[in-house]
Amino acid sequence: MTMRVLAFMAGVTAALTAHADEGMWPFDNVPKAAIKTQLGVDIDQAWLDKVRTATVRLSGCTASFVSPDGLLLTNHHCVASCLSNLSTPQKNLLADGFVAANRSGERQCPAQLADVLLSMEDITAKVNAATSGLNEKAANEKRKKTLTQLEQACEEASAKDKSTGALKCESVTLYDGGQYFLYKYKRYTDVRIVFAPEQSIAAFGGDPDNFQFPRWCLDMAMLRAYDNGKPAATPNHLRINFAGPAAGEAAFVSGHPGSTERLLTVSQLEERRTSAPLSLLRASELRGRYIQFGKRDEESQRIVQDPLNGLENSIKVRRKQLDALLNDKLIEQKTRQENALRSAVTASGELATRTGDPWRDIEKANEAFDSMELPFTFIEGGMGFNSRLFNYARALVRGTTEREKPNTDRLPEYADARLPRLTQQLGAAIPIYPDLEKLTLSFSLERMREWLGPDHPLVRQLLSKDSPDSLAARLIDGSRLADSTVRSALWKDGSAAINASTDPMIQLARSVDAEARAIRKRYEDEVEAPVRAATERIAAARFAVFGTRVYPDATFTLRLNPGSVQGWKEGGADVLPFTHLNRAFERATGAEPFRIPDSWQKVKSQLDMNTPFNLTTNNDIVGGNSGSALINARGEVVGLLFDGNIHSISGAFWFDTEKNRAVAVHPAIMREALRKVYRAEGLLKELSGGK
């Protein structure tokens, strides 16, 4: 339940050399020869094109088309927010699961999108030409404007191109500025839930088992993409091979790894190590508040479940990342690699002149960041205003102002290319729970006061006559932003309506906006600009020294990774790559999160206890690969990625060939469950090529 993209990981890196199964390769740069050598598998362009167009990007996850009628296979935890949003006090879809009786029973997930990557255009030369000769700060601004311009031009061109229809064009930065691309997507905005099992079996073992193996999770779900109210036609789809893979068999992962930071400089790693505890401590306290809130009653438990799951997952990830950062061996290896590159640069006179000392520049930028980290995190980063209503309010306040500026003068998240998505999000009828909002907002105000100090001017402004509790209650109770029609009306009416609004949350967002923008600008000029300038020079130096045997760090864009079905050795003992159904029943305690649902208990005698359940591979994956298909050499789905083992978490910084393993649902348990537990014969028929 773990491999969703974690937003906080956005970083500044690029990766260097590839071990056997290491590397997240863009589809235009797949090392076919190495795959042939290492795995004995021929990957041709047709295979790549089919896999690429059958792979779908969801919010923070991946999915694959598995029928010609737009049917998507992904993880249960990738649709958990959809299930939670569609639930009511009377019907808890997260707990109870969901099986659409037929297509008319498929229910739209609010604000869910599905993107298919159609093409990639290299725009590095255009971007570099635009920033050439500018100083760091000016280059940083010009670069953003140029990317906005190119996205806009691309979307306008596609809208006029009848062969593609209107596409979403997104700029992509690879190698931290070594390359810039436009990625062009076909976007589905109507995505419906088709099937989800009960969370008890989807996430059997819950947080204690998360990132562990052996494992028994049916972490699967099915969605369907719709086009103009009809199931999308998806001739390029993948078939599921329910027999699954053999041990040692080659297996590919096509998906959207969210973020890795494998070539951070040593000073950046040390900066991460020092700042990691702050967010972990906050997250841990919030976990405690959530858990205690859930004990109030069943309804509180229901509404807190989805945010709690996400939080616990991110805590485990960040905790193990901190462990990795505290591992001296990591710092030693990174120091060796950095020194090797620096020596090579120094040895080449021309390159040395061109490169300068970007490592020192980054160190200086880190020092500048130290002095602004806390206000940036709490005020612009929003960690002092943890509230969905505040997020709406900020988007409305900023978006209406920005929208009135020329496209390239805006904050990038309000560029024209981004506005349809924002309009959809503001208008989506998603339930807001006032008590939970008060909890998160009061919590974050209290921590802002703790960390910025009670005498910080903004803290004084907010809390000179209020406690965090009383302020949060007044804001949440007084705001009407939970109503999507209110939000849509404000959005439509623009900045005049916003400025006239007496909604207290709008007023709050207005009152902190100037200070938030100021600290952001300071961050962009004093940290982002010099770091980006430095990482561009490091990327150029690395290309010059090591050539093209490199893969870029993950950026939540489409990648292919080659690997094979493998267990590993833990404390000298073999961990076998397959688990089976029988052990799940033996291990169940009857109490959450080790409860096998009634639907399974009822048919227990009919189930084949030897059915393979989960499996491990040595694929190189990271958050965002959740829901990725595991694909064999013939282009069949032989598994559904949903997690990594505990060693995989350090994959943010390096790849441990011996121990880093991906964890997938075996297709045999999918079939067994669909057939005998959920009696989803229609779906099975569709998956088997019938209608």
Of the pair 210, 557, the CB lying nearest a copy of itself is at 210
464 and 458 in contact (C-beta within 8 Å)? no
Of the candidate spans 1-9, 460-468, 624-632, 673-681, the one that interacts with a copy of itself by CB under 8 A turns out to be 460-468
Alpha helices in 165-297 (DSSP H): 199-202, 206-209, 266-294
Q: Does 461 bind a copy of itself (CB under 8 A)?
A: no
Residue 570, C-beta contacts closer than 8 angstroms, at least 6 positions apart: 659
CB atoms inside a 10 Å sphere around CB 249 = 17
Which parts of 465-484 interact with a copy of itself (CB under 8 A)? 465-467, 469-470
In whole angstroms, give the CA distance from residue 446 to residue 135. 40
Q: Does 291 bind a copy of itself (CB under 8 A)?
A: yes
Q: DSSP secondary structure string, 608-665?
A: -TT-EEEEEE-----TT-TTPEEE-TTS-EEEEEEEE-GGGGGGGT---TTT--EEEE
The binder of a copy of itself chosen from 161, 450, 598, 681 (CB under 8 A)? 450
The binder of a copy of itself chosen from 78, 80, 439, 498 (CB under 8 A)? 439
What separation, in Å, do the N-terminal and C-terminal C-alpha atoms of the chain show? 31
Give SS3 for 346.
helix
Of the pair 44, 328, the CB lying nearest a copy of itself is at 328
Of the candidate spans 105-113, 140-148, 275-283, 633-641, the one that interacts with a copy of itself by CB under 8 A turns out to be 275-283
Calculate Rg over the CA atoms of the chain. 25
Name the β-bridge partners of 563. 251
Q: What is the dihedral of CA 386, 512, 394, 446, to 10 degrees?
A: 10
Considering CB under 8 A, how many residues would be counted as binding a copy of itself? 49
Q: What is the DSSP letter of 510?
A: H
Q: Does 270 bind a copy of itself (CB under 8 A)?
A: yes
Q: Does 264 bind a copy of itself (CB under 8 A)?
A: no
In the complex, the smallest distance separating the C-beta of residue 273 from a copy of itself, rounded to whole angstroms, is: 7
216 and 1 in contact (C-beta within 8 Å)? no
Alpha helices in 479-503 (DSSP H): 484-493, 495-500
Of the pair 288, 478, the CB lying nearest a copy of itself is at 288
Q: Where are the beta strands (DSSP E) in 323-412?
A: none
Which parts of 591-620 interact with a copy of itself (CB under 8 A)? 591-592, 594
Q: Does 518 bind a copy of itself (CB under 8 A)?
A: no
Q: DSSP secondary structure string, 461-474?
A: HHHSS--HHHHHHH
In the complex, the smallest distance separating the C-beta of residue 686 from a copy of itself, rounded to whole angstroms, is: 36
Of the pair 95, 352, the CB lying nearest a copy of itself is at 95
Q: Does 289 bind a copy of itself (CB under 8 A)?
A: yes
Residue 454 buriedness (CB in 10 A; 0-12 / 13-18 / 19+): exposed
Of the candidate spans 133-141, 155-163, 402-410, 451-459, the one that interacts with a copy of itself by CB under 8 A turns out to be 451-459
In the complex, the smallest distance separating the C-beta of residue 292 from a copy of itself, rounded to whole angstroms, is: 4
In whole angstroms, give the CA distance from residue 403 to residue 127. 24
The binder of a copy of itself chosen from 315, 445, 558, 683 (CB under 8 A)? 315
Q: Does 329 bind a copy of itself (CB under 8 A)?
A: no
Q: Does 95 bind a copy of itself (CB under 8 A)?
A: no
587 and 619 in contact (C-beta within 8 Å)? no
Name the residue among 513, 627, 671 with its Cα closest to residue 79. 627
Helix axes 266-294, 434-452, angle to 10 degrees: 140
638 and 251 in contact (C-beta within 8 Å)? yes
In the complex, the smallest distance separating the C-beta of residue 623 from a copy of itself, rounded to whole angstroms, is: 20
Strand 107-108, strand 573-575: pairing: unpaired
Q: Does 37 bind a copy of itself (CB under 8 A)?
A: no
Q: Does 287 bind a copy of itself (CB under 8 A)?
A: yes
Of the pair 38, 284, the CB lying nearest a copy of itself is at 284
The binder of a copy of itself chosen from 113, 286, 540, 550 (CB under 8 A)? 286
Q: Does 449 bind a copy of itself (CB under 8 A)?
A: yes
Of the pair 284, 424, the CB lying nearest a copy of itself is at 284
534 and 358 in contact (C-beta within 8 Å)? yes
Which parts of 159-218 interact with a copy of itself (CB under 8 A)? 205, 207-209, 212
Per CB under 8 A, residues contacting a copy of itself are 205, 207-209, 212, 270, 273-274, 277, 280-282, 284-293, 295, 315, 319, 322-323, 326, 328, 439, 443, 449-450, 453-455, 463-467, 469-470, 587, 589-592, 594
